[in-house]
Structure 1
């Protein structure tokens, strides 16, 4: 069984367990609203976690990276705004260098949009929250 995180439902506040991998879209046990799907992955589970029928936003970041910390709230906002339509997977490049090597990442933060496990879009570097959210929305709607 995949590990899970606890997330508060944005609609009713109920705390729910959100698994890293699931069939379908995580929903609130109380009100049935779609929940933000924001999980962490490493080299051991990335392939399974990132393979989903929903578009997957992969945030390749590091704790020491100021621009990574700068865009983190916008990445989290994307998971809330696009709940039920997007899965967000955060990968610490220091702990999982094989994942960044797999995608040829040369600078962080790097954001990837995957569909069916394949990269369809990429953004390198920090951008403003509005621009980042617009980019994610366009990638999800494409």
Structure 2
């Protein structure tokens, strides 16, 4: 079984690219804290490369930013290629199939709160009546 679950912070904004066939692929690095400190008392982290594909790649590129706390589920993949000097290079990365945004976007959170309060004031929502009974006729019910 090849399954990995990680929680960490992005070290930089994701890089979105497209294959020649038009498939979206995003790469980013996740800094995952180790559960112990070193002899100097400092926390250490592992920097793990993450790859996402297709719609998940576009979603990550649009909503993830450097420093954002993120959970990643996926599988470890090891690939290799020959570099310009003729040496074989091995790359270990996580191919993510599920990415969770664990905290809101700090820059947008205040603006979204203001937008949602404006929406509530200007909206004619029939369900925003402070718990009073709603007048619905039997013809409006789907059953």
Say which one has the larger Rg: 2
Q: Which has the higher helix share?
A: 1
- When normalised by structure 2's length, the TM-score is 0.21
- When normalised by structure 1's length, the TM-score is 0.21
Q: Which has the higher strand share?
A: 2
